[in-house]
Structure 1
Amino acid sequence: MRPTKGREKGFLRHVVVVSFFVIAFLWLATYLHFVVESRRNVEFKIKDRELSQQIEELTEQINRIKGSKAQ
């Protein structure tokens, strides 16, 4: 027995609604992933700048100590 046309329409409507929810969920997951990653990248850049500045300061101190020992 074949399902009636009303059942076929109901089934297709159900499939379409479920598909929209799946697409919306995937879009939201992708969006949140990129937001989190961009926030992490900003944090890494800030930390990188801080570490670079500390390295420069320590290098200057080492050069001053070497210079004072050489005299």
Structure 2
Amino acid sequence: MVFLLVGLLLLSFGCSLIFARETWWAAQQFVDRLKKQVSERTLVWEVSQMGLGVIAIVIAIICIWQGVERI
């Protein structure tokens, strides 16, 4: 059951990284303002968000698979 829950949370996190990048960019700007740094949205940032989203989705699928097998 824990694997299933973790998998669903990771799936939503990964999808949000891919499909809600504006929200994550706003969060990044907020953190940078707290650190008194300048934010710059570059191609590297975009690709890293997509890559992290894909990795989170793959791990989520593995966790969900394990959770289903244990039920």
Shorter-chain TM-score: what band? 0.3 to 0.5
- TM-score normalised to the size of structure 2? 0.42
> Whose RCO is larger (CA < 8 A, sep 6+)?
2
- TM-score normalised to the size of structure 1? 0.42
Higher helix share: 1
Query: Of the two, which has the highest radius of gyration?
Result: 1
